């Protein structure tokens, strides 16, 4: 089974944006960051990010759990990313919505 870390970011609009601006520019920032990490060979983006209720979820894999959690912690500390980010450690055989929750960033 393949280990997967889901990065759950509260879907909170970025404060102070101009009227009419995209409310969640941090989504693109996180996606770019994860693609850069993938290009470096540190992780692999498992699937496209998606909105699930009041969070936006990014999926990463292809590294040790510790490395995946380090990457997730780096996401949680990016400028502009809302507070309250957490990870769910799961695998590709687990039922949807199951796994171990870990608050980020991991110390």
Q: Beta-carbon neighbour count of residue 102 at 10 Å?
A: 16
pTM: 0.94
Indicate the average pLDDT of the chain.
95
Q: Is 53 left (phi over 0), alpha (psi -120 to 50) or beta?
A: left
Write out pLDDT tens, residues 33-67.
999 999 999 999 999 999 999 999 999 999 999 99
Predicted pLDDT of residue 57: 97
Predicted pLDDT of residue 96: 76
- pLDDT band at residue 1 using 50, 70 and 90 as cut-offs: confident
**Which residues are CB-contacts of 75 (< 8 A; sequence separation ≥ 6)?**
7, 9, 30, 33, 34, 58, 81, 85, 104
Length of the chain measured in residues: 107
Residue 32: enclosing H or E segment and its boundaries? Answer: helix 25-39
């Amino acid at each position: 089974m393949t280990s997967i870390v889901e990065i759950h970011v509260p879907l909170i609009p970025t404060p102070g944006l101009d009227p009419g601006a995209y409310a969640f520019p941090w989504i693109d920032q996180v996606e770019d960051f994860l693609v850069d990490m993938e290009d470096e060979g540190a992780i692999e983006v498992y699937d496209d990010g998606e909105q699930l209720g009041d969070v936006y979820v990014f999926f990463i894999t292809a590294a040790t759990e510790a490395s995946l959690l380090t990457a997730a912690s780096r996401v949680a500390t990016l400028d502009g990313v809302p507070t309250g980010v957490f990870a769910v450690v799961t695998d590709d055989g687990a039922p949807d919505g199951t796994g171990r929750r870990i608050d980020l960033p991991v110390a």
